[in-house]
Structure 1
């Protein structure tokens, strides 16, 4: 007697991580790439002086979990414009963009752009808060000046 048991497929998660250490001309840099279920994430670590094998191993053991990986979001392509002149402008603009070689470089460029945008937002918010504080100080000063009249 043969009994067939149909098992539900267990969910498998494929995870792959690599650390590449290279010299960028000024510093020794580590490029940590992490692929989990088809999502690609990357982090950049600046070591400074040339790290020994022991230092790299210590870094991986102690600090790998604390790395902030930046994901490569696959944005949907925009629809082509109906206007041929606009399409030509978009094509020339795309050709002027420097070509990124690897997925890691593209992800790092996206991370830099995101951080730049976030710092600009924080800077403008800080300026607005400072201006509001200065305005409040002026109001208080005017109030003190006219007090008792």
Structure 2
């Protein structure tokens, strides 16, 4: 995990519809495979109001080698927060639930004493989900466990081949 460069911030934030002054302090580039930009935003209304320019975001992320941008509110005292993942570089304009990015955020927050989080996602797409993560920081680094709940909307049987 590292701090983003000025170039990364300068390309991604405007594509998200954010100015340099909009995000809360603490943006990070984190990886559970392909790197993504973790972007804190001050409050839920600002998160809900985001309307990214997906073509511009994809171009920025492709140029920077990023999977996308995981924009999140700060956790409450109970570790509850909301997030949206925009990843047009991998064909996902917005994900309804993303465990890898939540794990990255949990690892980051563990270094600040927040060891359990519950992240609301998917609301903007009409498919609410909650991803949970627990993390601890030890001598080797962060250890993260991710889970969540889901409601089965339908079942599809695939033919055997």
What is the TM-score when the length of structure 1 is the normalising length? Answer: 0.25
**Normalized per residue, which structure has more helix?**
1
Higher Rg: 1
**Normalized per residue, which structure has more strand?**
2
What is the TM-score when the length of structure 2 is the normalising length? Answer: 0.24
